[in-house]
Amino acid sequence: MESRFSIGDIAKIHNVSVQTLRHYDKIGLLTPSYINKETGYRYYSSKDFVIIDLIKQCKSMGLSLDEIKEIIHNYTSLESILDIMKKQKDIIDKKISELNTIKNNISFLEKRINDSLEEGIDIILVKEYPKREFIKYNNTNRFTVEFEINLSKALADAERKYNNFNKELAFVTSFEDLEKADKTIYKAMMLSFTDMLNVNDKEKYIIPEGKYITINFDDDYKDTRKYYTRVMNYIRENNLKVKGDFYEIYAMTRVGNDGKEKSLGKLQIAVD
Q: 97 lies in a domain?
A: no
Tell me the residue range of the domain where 235 lies: 121-271
The pTM of the full predicted model, rounded to 2 decimals, is 0.69
The CATH number covering residue 38 comes to: 1.10.1660.10
What tens digit of pLDDT does each residue of 188-213 get?
A: 888 886 555 566 667 788 899 999 99
Long-range contacts (CB closer than 8 Å, 24 or more residues apart) made by 34-37: 34/4
Q: 104 lies in a domain?
A: no
Least Cα distance to 248 among 227, 268, 270, 221 occurs for: 268
Q: Which amino acid is at 69?
A: K
Q: 65 lies in a domain?
A: yes
> Residues 126, 194: one domain?
yes
Q: 194 lies in a domain?
A: yes
Q: 108 lies in a domain?
A: no
Bridge partners, residue 42, by sequence: 35
8 Å CB contact between 33 and 76: no
8 Å CB contact between 221 and 253: yes
Q: Mind listing the pLDDT tens digit of every residue in the chain (272 residues)?
A: 568 899 999 999 999 999 999 999 999 999 898 888 888 888 998 888 888 988 998 888 888 898 888 888 776 577 877 887 888 889 889 989 889 888 888 888 899 999 999 999 999 999 999 999 888 877 666 666 777 777 777 777 767 766 655 678 899 999 999 999 999 988 888 888 655 556 666 778 889 999 999 999 999 988 899 999 999 999 999 999 999 999 999 998 888 778 788 999 999 999 98
Query: Where a domain ends, among 76, 108, 131?
Result: 76
Phi then psi for 223, rounded to 5 degrees?
-120, 40
> Residues 126, 255: one domain?
yes
> Residues 141, 68: one domain?
no
Query: Where a domain ends, among 61, 76, 91?
Result: 76
As a whole number of angstroms, the distance between CA 6 and CA 2 comes to: 13
Query: Where a domain ends, among 76, 103, 132?
Result: 76
> Cα 175 to chain center, whole Å?
35
Q: 254 lies in a domain?
A: yes
The CATH number covering residue 200 comes to: 3.20.80.10
Task: Look up residue 75 and give its DSSP letter.
Answer: T
Three-state DSSP class for residue 169: strand
As a whole number of angstroms, the distance between CA 60 and CA 47 comes to: 21
Domain count, the chain: 2
Q: 51 lies in a domain?
A: yes
> Residues 256, 174: one domain?
yes
Q: 150 lies in a domain?
A: yes
8 Å CB contact between 190 and 265: no
As a whole number of angstroms, the distance between CA 219 and CA 256 comes to: 12
